[in-house]
Structure 1
Amino acid sequence: MSGGALVVGHDGTEGARAALDEAMRLAKDMGGADIHLVFSFAAPRIGGELHDLDEAIAERGQRMLEHGVHHARSAGVSVQTHCRRDDSAEGLVAVAEEVDARYIIVGSYGERPLKSVLVGATPTRLLHLSERPVLVVRTPD
């Protein structure tokens, strides 16, 4: 295997860091695949006064992405960032389509199946939305 792109959901959580670490290992195994870190959030649709909230979330996302970039580049891995205002799963799928990703990689806290269905956990939604392989990395205990 050589090259390709890996899309990684990254929100600064422990699960996101575990997903990025796995993506970095996989990128090296693939002969230098590019990593695309994605922070995606659904903007509230209630009204204009929430514009400041949207901006604050986007700024926090950019900071989280910068931490991920620093971590990946310190290991010699090529990385790009994407901050999207879409539902998290839909944003990941959209970026994966744009960059023709081989895999989408996300972290998981090991939610029970019923809870993930009820609250719409991103890994579960990705399995339904994505036509690309989805790798779910369990957060270390």
Structure 2
Amino acid sequence: MKLASIAVGVDFSEESNVALEQALHLAKTHDTQLTLVHVGALPPHTVEVPESLRPTLTEYERILNQHLDEDRNRLAELRVSCEARGFKNVTTQVVDDHPDQGLCQAADQLSADLLVVGTHGRTGVKRLIMGSVAERVVRLSERPVLVARSPVEADAPGYQRILVGMDFSSTAQEALRYAVALAAPGAVVDLLHCWRLPLASVPYFPAGDVGASIEGPLRTYTEELGQKLASEHSTPTCAVNYHSVEAAPTQGISEWLEARPYDLTVVGSHGNRGMRRFLLGSVAEATVRHANTSVLVVHAPETDE
């Protein structure tokens, strides 16, 4: 898989810098175009203000325009700084819109293969209420979104340990392809299949008896599928391993991440964009909010229900 274009959201915050460093690393690794996208919007006049307030409104607009001009200058300086570090294929784009919609719009216009955004906070309450812009971008975007959380430097080896949530859907397999593409030389990619039999019973037979009759064959079948995927996607520079745990996906991924060190978690999100506007797939949303790593969300095609 070749990444031809990467877009990264820039708002000059510390979290934005984390996203930029990861985007720079990926652009360098894949020798690809990187666009620094800054979104700033002047709110339109929707209400006619009294004559007495016009001077105040004019001053307010002047200050906003001044800040936007300053941000454009800072964006240009940031591009020069990137070029001074050896990153030559860097461009900038300023979008007049709200941050979430503007970033998605820019990524679409650029036909970006990846959109990188930062998020505020990693622990405590902030970890439970992920930066709203990043969350809305993940929901709205048609394109894969990398929520950058770990401070991977542009000069670092890259993603050495990657976890991929695997439910064997076409979206999860696309997530695996992205994981292998983003993996650093010598990296390890772990596929994690979380499973749990439904709590149901057949009349006259205890649920446990029914479960025992299908659990073995089902585990054997999924093990064969998982090992086949791991074998097909392993390369001389990237080892892919398959694991399974008896747990609900959200719980299983969370506990696996807490117990082991990873640089990146990759998950697929099912459902069309209309539904994602209101609720991202529960596993993807929980992983993005609570994971202690950067998280890449790969969306299902609109036809993949």
TM interval, shorter chain, is 0.7 to 0.9
Whether the 8 Å CA contact 1:12–1:68 is kept in 2: the answer is no
1:134 aligns with 2:134: no
Matches for 1:1-141 after TM superposition, within 5 Å: 1-2=1-2, 4-30=4-30, 32-46=31-45, 49=58, 50-77=60-87, 78-110=89-121, 111-114=126-129, 116=131, 121-138=132-149, 140=151
User: Does the CA contact (< 8 Å) of 2:18 and 2:149 recur in 1?
Assistant: yes
Q: Distance in 1 between matches of 2:86 and 2:2?
A: 16
Cα gap change, 1:60 to 1:139, in 2 (>3 Å): farther
5+ residue gaps, structure 2, are: 50-56, 152-305
Q: CA deviation at 1:64?
A: 2.5
CA distance in 2: counterparts of 1:74 and 1:10, whole angstroms: 18
Root-mean-square deviation over aligned CA pairs: 2.0
Q: Secondary structure at the match of 1:112?
A: helix
Deviation at 1:5, TM superposition (A): 1.1
* SS of match in other structure, 1:104: strand
Give 2:293's aligned residue: none
- Unaligned runs of 5+ residues in structure 1 are none
Aligned residues: 135
Q: Is the 8 A contact 1:15 1:107 kept in 2?
A: yes
> What's the TM-score, normalizing by structure 1?
0.83
Instruction: Tell me how far 1:73 sits from its aligned partner.
Output: 0.8
Deviations 1:81-116 (A, max 9, x none): 111110011111111111100111111222333364
Deviates more, 1:38-47 or 1:89-98: 38-47
* Aligned partner letter, 1:9: G
User: TM-score if structure 2 supplies the norm length?
Assistant: 0.41
Q: Please tell me whether the aligned partners of residues 62 and 83 of structure 1 are also in contact (alpha carbons under 8 angstroms).
A: yes
Deviation per residue, 1:10-64 (Å, 9 max, x gap) = 111111111111111101121x111111110232234762431331231122122
Q: Per the alignment, do residues 60 and 109 of structure 1 end up closer, same or farther by CA in structure 2, a change over 3 Å counting?
A: same
| Bigger shift: residues 125-134 or 42-51 | 42-51
Q: In the alignment, what sits opposite 2:172? A: none
Contact 2:115/2:145 (8 A) holds in 1: yes
Measure the CA separation in 2 of the matches of 1:124 and 1:41.
Answer: 18
Give secondary structure in 2 for the equivalent of 1:6: strand
Name which structure has the greater RCO, CA cutoff 8 Å, separation 6+: 1
